[in-house]
């Protein structure tokens, strides 16, 4: 199972929970996950798509548009950020190293401690950085596991500003998931740039009483201010009403891509 | 006019184009702009809300939810990224310093040159950083103006991957803008978590033939996976049909905030 980040990254924690007996393969960038799936290095990949506080991970949405892998599962992880350093004294800490999204999630904590925030490409990578460079006035924000793997001190736990902090991960593979009775289906579609075109697509869901659990727009990158829409709906594409709505959407969209149907994750 | 970043930032270029005779006030973080408006340090502020390639600037959307300032204008700036360094030789460059969004916009260029990307808090700030630290194997991605202000060498121009790269800026102040006949209105609203609730709001626009130019969802931060919706529509709140739609939306939303009506910017 391939994930982005270094050992101890939140994505690796998800990979280990889902496939405890499988090897985890670390990759530097999100794009590398899709490449490792394409070239057969890994059968499964795990990607964060959305955080309950910060919102969508835009880059993943763009990569999902181009992949031929399918979504075969989802997982919700409660995010518990720790302050991690070489030495055990919080008083000497002046600078915080972490991924920009982790920094954003601990904004109030960082401000009230008057720390300076320095963005890095990965939470667990920040822990390794301050360990290797023997930085004494800096600390990283990362998981407890990242501290343990690197044998570093935990100065503070649960430093995230909001406690209802969950990240939603998707599992990518070639594996189609059968209906479980409690499923979600993820779709991407484009619309003609006309008044009400989104309304007429949503009407298809509304008349069939299909619940939208998420709607997100992303630039098409082809023409400025034209958007693709990313929609999650309740149900499986093999369910009759979902199957019907997909059929009717084909006539009302410029393109339609079914990312996959999968069992809903639990929080 | 207050902007985020250092002199030479794209936001400052917009501020100077809009108010050529007014002083520009530089602030480190987006939040500082809203504070400078609140405490009367500046009458006008300029914030980037969306880029045609990378999508929305999430943090601004969150700050707009809480501000009591109104949107009184918009401006589209064509983004032209330059590679900026101390010396005039591209061969010695190994590392690229810039804001994460500028890095993302030059992803292919960075990859094809096998540069390592290092995120910084600001594009123009990255230019100053490599100047002050006399970094010889690093270059910044920033505006031509940032190179000129810092008297640095431009190694390459127009290095953005896609040429249709525009950023949309909003002007914030206490000033209400009168209808011009070519206006846009920005709204934020919340919905009850029920099937079709978004559909029933969009129906109000559709029946009045009001064009939606943008729809975006952001987490409420109160309850996981509940969203606020950010919508831009064509027309001014003093126009009859927009006035009517706002009235009818009050009954169908859990809250409704009108950010402002303003003359559309041109590209």
pLDDT at A114 over 90: yes
Neighboring chain B residues of A167 at a CB cutoff of 8 Å: none
Q: Cβ separation of A205 and B213 shorter than 8 Å? A: no
Query: How confident is the model at residue A158, as a pLDDT?
Result: 96
Query: How confident is the model at residue A88, as a pLDDT?
Result: 84
Neighboring chain B residues of A203 at a CB cutoff of 8 Å: 199
pLDDT at A194 over 80: no
Q: Find the CB nearest B218 among A55, A195, A225.
A: A55
Query: How confident is the model at residue B55, as a pLDDT?
Result: 87
pLDDT per residue as tens digits for the range A171-191? 999 999 999 999 999 999 999
Query: How confident is the model at residue A113, as a pLDDT?
Result: 95
CB B113 within 8 A of CB B94: no
pLDDT per residue as tens digits for the range A215-247? 888 888 888 888 899 999 999 999 999 999 999
Comparing CA positions, the residue from A220, A215, A208, A218 lying closest to residue A246 is A208
Comparing CA positions, the residue from B186, B58, B30, B258 lying closest to residue A218 is B58
Q: Find the CB nearest B217 among A51, A215, A221.
A: A215
ipTM over 0.85? The verdict is no
Domains of chain B: 2-78+167-173 (3.40.190.10), 82-156 (3.40.190.10), 183-263 (3.30.70.260)
Query: How confident is the model at residue B158, as a pLDDT?
Result: 96
Q: Give, for B27, the enclosing helix (H) or strand (E).
A: strand B25-27
For residues A121 and A103, give the distance between their C-alpha atoms in angstroms, rounded to a whole number: 12
pLDDT at B39 over 90: yes
Q: Distance of CA B259 to CAs A47, A57, B187, B202, Å? A: 34, 25, 6, 18
Comparing CA positions, the residue from A38, A79, A30, A32 lying closest to residue A58 is A30
- Strands of the sheet with B138-142, listed across from one edge: B116-119, B95-98, B138-142, B82-85, B153-156
pLDDT at B222 over 90: no
Q: Which of A196, A226, A242 to mutate to test the interface with B (most CBs of B within 10 A)?
A: A196
Other Cβ atoms closer than 10 A to A132? 9
Query: How confident is the model at residue A223, as a pLDDT?
Result: 82
Query: Per DSSP, what are the bridge partners of residue B83?
Result: B141, B156
Query: Per DSSP, what are the bridge partners of residue A231?
Result: A187, A215
Q: Is A115 one of the annotated active-site residues of the chain?
A: no
pTM: 0.86
pLDDT, mean over chain B: 93
Query: How confident is the model at residue B193, as a pLDDT?
Result: 74
Neighboring chain A residues of B198 at a CB cutoff of 8 Å: 202, 212, 215
Query: How confident is the model at residue A100, as a pLDDT?
Result: 79
Q: Which residue of B has its CA nearest to A215?
A: B217
Query: How confident is the model at residue B146, as a pLDDT?
Result: 96
Mean local confidence (pLDDT), B135-160: 96
Q: List b or e across A196-205, with b for residues whose CB sees 16 or more CB atoms inside 10 angstroms.
A: bbbbbbbbbb
pLDDT at A152 over 90: yes
Neighboring chain B residues of A195 at a CB cutoff of 8 Å: 205-206, 209-212
CB A201 within 8 A of CB A249: yes
For residues B264 and A40, give the distance between their C-alpha atoms in angstroms, rounded to a whole number: 49
Q: Find the CB nearest A198 among B53, B196, B215.
A: B215
Q: How sure is the predictor about A118, in pLDDT bands with cuts at 50, 70 and 90?
A: confident
Query: How confident is the model at residue B167, as a pLDDT?
Result: 94
Neighboring chain B residues of A115 at a CB cutoff of 8 Å: none
Comparing CA positions, the residue from B1, B29, B17, B5 lying closest to residue B78 is B17
For residues A33 and B55, give the distance between their C-alpha atoms in angstroms, rounded to a whole number: 22
Q: Which of A32, A52, A54, A55 to mutate to test the interface with B (most CBs of B within 10 A)?
A: A55
Q: Find the CB nearest B219 among A53, A196, A213.
A: A53
Q: Is B30 one of the annotated active-site residues of the chain?
A: no
Q: Which of B115, B195, B210 to mutate to test the interface with A (most CBs of A within 10 A)?
A: B195
pLDDT at A195 over 80: no
């Amino acid at each position: 199972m391939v994930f982005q980040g270094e050992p101890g990254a939140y994505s690796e924690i998800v990979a280990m929970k889902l496939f405890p007996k499988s090897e985890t393969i670390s990759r530097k960038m999100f794009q590398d996950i899709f490449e490792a799936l394409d070239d057969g290095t890994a059968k499964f990949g795990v990607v964060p798509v959305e955080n309950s506080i910060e919102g969508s991970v835009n880059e993943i949405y763009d990569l999902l548009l181009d992949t031929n892998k399918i979504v075969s599962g989802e997982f919700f992880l409660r995010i518990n950020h720790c302050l991690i350093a070489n030495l055990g004294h919080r008083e000497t800490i002046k600078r915080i190293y972490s991924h920009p999204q982790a920094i954003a999630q601990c904004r109030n904590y960082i401000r009230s401690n008057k720390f300076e925030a320095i963005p890095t490409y990965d939470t667990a990578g920040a822990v390794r950085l301050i360990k290797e460079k023997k930085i004494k006035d800096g600390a990283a924000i990362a998981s407890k596991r990242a501290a343990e793997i690197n044998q570093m001190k935990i100065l503070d736990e649960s430093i995230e500003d909001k406690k209802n902090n969950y990240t939603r991960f998707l599992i990518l593979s070639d594996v189609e998931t059968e209906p479980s009775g409690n499923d979600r289906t993820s779709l991407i579609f484009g619309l003609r740039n006309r008044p009400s075109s989104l309304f007429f697509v949503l009407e298809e869901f509304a008349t069939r009483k299909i619940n939208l659990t998420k709607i997100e727009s992303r630039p098409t990158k082809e023409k400025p201010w034209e958007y693709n829409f990313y929609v999650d709906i309740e149900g499986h594409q093999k369910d009759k009403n979902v199957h019907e709505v997909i059929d009717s959407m084909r006539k009302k969209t410029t393109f339609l891509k079914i990312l996959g149907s999968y069992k809903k994750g639990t929080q």
